[in-house]
Amino acid sequence: MTNPVRTTDFKDKKRRGEKIVMLTAYDANMARLLDRAGIDAILVGDSLGMVVLGYPTTVQVTMDAIVHHTAAVSRGTSHALVVADMPFLSYQIEAAEALRNAKRLMQDGGAAAVKLEGGKPVLDVVKRLVDIGVPVMGHVGLLPQAVHQAGGFVRQATTPREADELLVDAIALEEAGAFAIVLEAIPSDVARAVTHELAIPTIGIGAGPECDGQILVSSDMLGLFDGTIPSFVRQYAHLKETVVTATQAYIDDVRAGRFGRRTPLPDRESTPTS
Ligand code: KIV
């Protein structure tokens, strides 16, 4: 595999017109598989709360949970850039706390960068983090951590005024030093305008094809998540059905006395020597 991807490669890729491809992961095995496939970057998203931990939103995700899963993903990754989400209220209370939490994600979790949600209200904290050498990915549009304020997971920037505000936020995040910005659930013409305006790459999710890169939640894209999947997600596999079918075959085998193995076990397990 080629050299590890760095945050500085993101801007170079945009300059060269190369699309950036990202997925989420939450454990070492999935990270290893995505890394082997050649993904550019893995986000340990706070979607962890919904797709792995069984919460209804991302609001319940804690620093401890994200650090634990980021460390697992880092252990499974050798090429992709690992970005860790800063959970709800881990960066908004005061800058010093945001710095301490970013420290945990990088030192204990092994992340190379952090992502945080919002525009104007988080600019100061983005500047502080970047000033001391923490690479920051921004996130505007639909902000899942603000789901209760937004009244659900609803599309954003659908009026000209909201679109202008989003553009102002994106420019301010670039000026604050963010190395890339996620654009979530916004109209594609708004995403195109933001992408055109910024020198740093935009990474879209439900924001149309003209962003500099794309990100999806891996278990949505693989058809593994057994819950509601956003309508813009293309499913490249249907692993949920595979898991149920394989489990039923195993249940049948065991119940029929076939013990789920094609070949009988030797009396004692031996380590292959050849
Ligand atoms: O938490 C997450 O998975 C995210 C992506 C959807 C961008 O923030």
Rg of the Cα atoms in the chain: 21
CA of 136 from ligand 1 middle (Å) equals 14
When the pLDDT of each residue in the chain is averaged and rounded to a whole number, the result is 94
Q: Which helix (H) or strand (E) holds 214?
A: strand 213-216
CA distance 51 to 85: 15
pLDDT band at residue 153 using 50, 70 and 90 as cut-offs: very high
Work out the pLDDT band at 274, boundaries 50, 70, 90: very low
Predicted local distance difference test score (pLDDT) of residue 259: 72
pLDDT at residue number 273: 43
Among the listed residues 228, 193, 229, 223, the one whose alpha carbon sits nearest the alpha carbon of residue 208: 193
The pLDDT tens digits of the residues spanning 39-61 come to: 999 999 999 999 999 999 999 99
Question: pLDDT-based confidence at 266, cuts 50/70/90?
Answer: low
pLDDT greater than 50 at residue 106: yes
The reported pTM is 0.94
C-alpha–C-alpha distance, residues 233 and 220, integer Å? 7
Q: Are 97 and 91 in contact, with CB atoms under 8 Å apart?
A: yes
Question: Does 45 contact ligand 1 (Cβ within 6 A)?
Answer: yes
If you measure from the C-alpha of residue 193 to the centroid of ligand 1, how many angstroms do you get, rounded to a whole number?
A: 22
Q: Who's near 55: CB < 8 A, 6+ residues apart?
A: 49, 61
Residue type, 248: Q
Catalytic residue among 18, 117, 184, 210: 184
